[in-house]
Amino acid sequence: IQLSNLSSFINWLSLRPSLSLELEKGEENMASWSSSSTQRSSGATMPCSVVKLDDDLLRHEEEAAEEIRRGPWTVEEDLTLVNYIADHGDGRWNSLARAAGLKRTGKSCRLRWLNYLRPDVKRGNFTADEQLLILDLHSRWGNRWSKIAQHLPGRTDNEIKNYWRTRVQKHAKQLNCDANSTKFKDAMKYLWMPRLADHHLQQSNQTFQLQDSDLSGWVQGFS
């Protein structure tokens, strides 16, 4: 069909409603495709199948994110994690979380295990000896908590960091100085650490006296 002008073209379309509808649908699809393409940073034209695949993956990621639990761990979750690690070991935390049936992130499982659930985690306040060691190591390495924790068996880097922020920085504020300042480091070196050392020595002497007393009583029991 030869169309001589715009009027004849419009008349021709009016006689072909089905064709007009198809053209309108084609324009809508083209506009949608163009919009999707411009939203991608690559700028390359992408087939519709790839666009659909990207949408499916995004929807799957959103659904998975909705299933992830947040907030405090329950006793049941702790038991699940402990039992799974007892049977299969730790590591590869993202895979571990899925295999154990926990709706937690791999990072959450790792931190829960390392900071709270592993059997060798020490509980209670830091001893005078541990406090001395923390002060000494921090003066060398600063806020490298993981490295400091390697020299305090059973203590976690998170626990050491919390001790520093709640105890050490509190003393720094009382002295109206920064915890990393020379003034505070001198105060630790010449005041705090000697006091801790004396306290540690007193504790050691008391322990020795108790052990000596127990030994004397044990010997007398056989005399």
Mean pLDDT per block of 10 residues along the chain (223 residues) reads 56 53 51 50 52 55 66 95 95 93 94 91 87 88 93 93 89 82 79 76 66 47 39
Is 43 domain-assigned? yes
Question: For position 220, what pLDDT does the model report?
Answer: 45
Angle at 68 between CA 63 and CA 71, to 5 degrees: 145
Q: What is the CA radius of gyration of the chain?
A: 35
Map 32-67 to HEC letters.
HHHHHHHCCCCCCCCCHHHHHHHHHHHHHHHHHHHH
Residues 27 and 107 in one domain: yes
Residues 148 and 202 in one domain: yes
Question: For position 202, what pLDDT does the model report?
Answer: 77
Question: For position 33, what pLDDT does the model report?
Answer: 45
Is 52 domain-assigned? yes
148 vs 133: CA distance, rounded Å:
9
Is 46 domain-assigned? yes
Is 20 domain-assigned? yes
Q: Considering 93, 117, 141, which residue would you say is the last residue of a domain?
A: 117
Contact between 129 and 137 under an 8 Å Cβ cutoff? The reply is no
Residues 48 and 141 in one domain: no
Question: Could you tell me the CATH number of the domain that includes residue 22?
Answer: 1.10.10.60
Q: What's 122's DSSP letter?
A: -
Is 123 domain-assigned? no
pTM: 0.51
128 vs 197: CA distance, rounded Å:
7
Residues 145 and 199 in one domain: yes
Residues 139 and 201 in one domain: yes
114 vs 157: CA distance, rounded Å:
9
Question: For position 131, what pLDDT does the model report?
Answer: 87
Residues 102 and 11 in one domain: yes
Residues 16 and 40 in one domain: yes
The amino acid occupying position 214 is D
Quote the domain boundaries for residue 147.
128-222
Question: For position 218, what pLDDT does the model report?
Answer: 38
Query: How many structural domains comprise the chain?
Result: 2
Residues 94 and 132 in one domain: no
Question: For position 191, what pLDDT does the model report?
Answer: 78
- Residue that the structure tokens 């499916």 belong to: 56
Q: How many helices (H) and strands (E) does the chain have?
A: 12, 0
Is 122 domain-assigned? no
Question: For position 223, what pLDDT does the model report?
Answer: 39
Residues 154 and 113 in one domain: no
Q: Considering 117, 147, 163, which residue would you say is the last residue of a domain?
A: 117
- Residue that the structure tokens 């900071």 belong to: 115
Residues 25 and 68 in one domain: yes
Please name the residue ranges forming H helices in 91-167. 93-99, 106-112, 128-141, 145-149, 157-163
Question: For position 84, what pLDDT does the model report?
Answer: 96
Residues 83 and 184 in one domain: no
Cα dist from 61 to 55, 56, 57, whole Å = 10, 9, 6
Phi, psi of 101 (to 5 degrees): 80, 20
3 vs 7: CA distance, rounded Å:
9
Q: Considering 89, 117, 145, which residue would you say is the last residue of a domain?
A: 117
Angle, helix 48-67 to helix 17-38, in steps of 10 degrees: 60
Classify burial at 174, counting beta carbons within 10 Å of its beta carbon; exposed 0-12, middle 13-18, buried 19 or more. Answer: exposed
Residues 13 and 99 in one domain: yes
